[in-house]
């Protein structure tokens, strides 16, 4: 990615800045590159043309552009201010305020970012970094979490003082930071006062057992408040399944069927959320023995379209799961009794 940028921007002042420099110095994989250059728009368009990537404006206000490449790689082009030092003065943390000339040469590190990398410290470049962009509050915690670093005392105090600003960034940006936090990251965010303004609480993490997945942690932390964030529809469906989950009455085939009916395909996660993991083996067994096809289809019942068809078919499948019926003929007989107002069990 960098070689092509050098070729395109040959003869221009351009610097690799931010996370790409940090991650390279830490020996981490670099999949995103941020290049400060005089004309980001022109650079992005030419880079996209030569790489086959897709260019689009990343920030109308700041004039930044992004080129999206395959394998989730990106190259960002941001405006170079009057000098690289002026550019770095607007960065969030010292470890992100190191710049390397794209053409090669000595790095610019006016805030001691390399020293903080060695010390594993997250330090704000200036006291106004969180007021300028409150998303940095969550980013500070996320960087601590991902890198195994620690906020320096002054920066931690700044986070606490500005915690109420955490609701200001666009929801999409907030979600993108939250979904990357581990359990420890959420506990740290809660300790710093960043979860309560967003409607979250670490109390949901105090379950005897947790599922190690970003979406489970989101539901455990935010509960019903999660619907207030612009989360993907799949995550919303997942959260609804977990939040409405009630432990199976017992380990019977009927009780497991009823639980699965409202929670699949996330029944195992829902068991953990509901504190009923002792039924996990029964759920797995029910999945393994799931019939390949239903005993009856809706068009075989002779009923007008409506919820009654779903109710009757569900009753058939529940009785099948419970072992009270096995054949199509038995299913049809059950349907007759249901429609006649019977109370078959």
96 within 8 A of 113, measured Cβ to Cβ: yes
Q: Which residues pair with 17 in a beta bridge?
A: 34, 99
Rounded Cα distance, 263 and 258, in Å? 9
Rounded Cα distance, 126 and 134, in Å? 13
Q: By CB neighbour count within 10 A (0-12 exposed, 13-18 middle, 19+ buried), where does 132 fall?
A: exposed
Tokens 């009916």 belong to 261
| pLDDT tens for each residue of the chain, 345 residues long | 889 999 999 999 999 999 999 999 999 998 899 999 999 999 999 999 999 999 999 876 778 999 999 988 999 999 997 899 999 999 999 999 999 999 999 999 999 999 999 999 999 999 999 999 999 999 999 999 999 999 999 999 999 999 999 999 999 999 999 999 999 999 999 999 999 999 999 999 998 899 999 999 999 999 999 999 999 999 999 999 999 999 999 999 999 999 999 999 999 999 999 999 999 999 999 999 999 999 998 888 877 788 888 888 999 999 999 999 999 999 999 988 888 874 444
Rounded Cα distance, 18 and 94, in Å? 9
In terms of Cα–Cα distance, which of 146, 268, 259 is closest to 211? 268
| Confidence (pTM) | 0.87
Evaluate the CA torsion angle 331, 336, 339, 345 in order and state its sign.
Answer: negative
Q: Where are the domains of the chain?
A: 1-112, 120-243, 245-288, 298-339
Beta strands 14-17 and 54-59 are unpaired
CA 319, chain centre distance (Å): 39
pLDDT at residue 62 in the model: 75
Superfamily of domain 120-243 in CATH is: cca-adding enzyme, domain 2 (1.10.3090.10)
What's the half-sphere exposure (Cβ side, CA atoms, 13 Å) at 86?
6
Residues 6-15, buried b or exposed e (16+ Cβ, 10 A)? eebbeeeebb
What does each C-alpha distance from 256 to 39, 195, 251, 296, 321 come to in angstroms?
Answer: 61, 35, 6, 21, 9
Candidates 3.40.640.10, 3.40.50.1220, 3.30.460.10, 1.25.40.10; CATH matching 1-112: 3.30.460.10
């Amino acid at each position: 990615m960098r070689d092509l940028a050098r070729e395109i921007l040959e003869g221009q002042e351009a610097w690799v800045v931010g996370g790409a420099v940090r991650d390279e110095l830490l020996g981490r994989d670099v999949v995103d590159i941020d290049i400060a250059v005089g004309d980001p728009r022109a650079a992005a368009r030419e880079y996209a043309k030569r790489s086959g990537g897709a260019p689009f404006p990343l920030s109308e206000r700041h004039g930044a552009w992004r080129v999206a490449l395959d394998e989730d790689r990106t190259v960002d082009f941001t405006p170079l201010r009057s000098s690289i030092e002026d550019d770095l003065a607007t960065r969030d943390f010292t470890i992100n305020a190191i710049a390397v000339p794209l053409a090669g040469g000595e790095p610019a590190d006016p805030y001691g970012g390399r020293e903080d990398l060695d010390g594993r410290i997250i330090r704000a470049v200036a006291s106004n970094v969180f007021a300028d962009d409150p998303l940095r509050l969550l980013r500070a915690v996320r960087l601590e979490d991902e890198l195994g670093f620690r906020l320096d005392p002054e920066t931690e105090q700044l986070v606490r003082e500005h915690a109420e600003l955490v609701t200001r960034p666009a929801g999409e940006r907030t979600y993108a930071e939250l979904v990357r936090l581990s359990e420890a990251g959420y506990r740290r965010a809660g300790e710093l006062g960043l979860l309560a303004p967003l409607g979250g609480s670490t109390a949901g993490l105090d379950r005897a057992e947790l599922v190690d997945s970003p979406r489970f942690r989101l539901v455990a932390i935010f509960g019903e408040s999660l619907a207030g964030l612009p989360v993907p529809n799949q995550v919303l469906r997942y959260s609804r399944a977990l939040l409405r989950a009630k432990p199976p009455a017992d380990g019977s085939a009927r009780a497991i069927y009823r639980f699965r009916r409202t929670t699949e395909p996330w029944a195992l996660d829902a068991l953990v959320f509901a504190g009923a993991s002792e039924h996990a083996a029964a759920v797995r067994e029910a999945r393994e023995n799931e019939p390949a096809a239903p005993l009856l289809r809706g068009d075989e019942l002779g009923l007008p379209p409506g919820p009654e068809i779903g109710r009757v078919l569900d009753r058939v499948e529940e009785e099948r799961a419970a072992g009270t019926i096995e054949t199509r003929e038995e299913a049809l007989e059950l349907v007759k009794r249901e429609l006649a107002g019977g109370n078959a069990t």
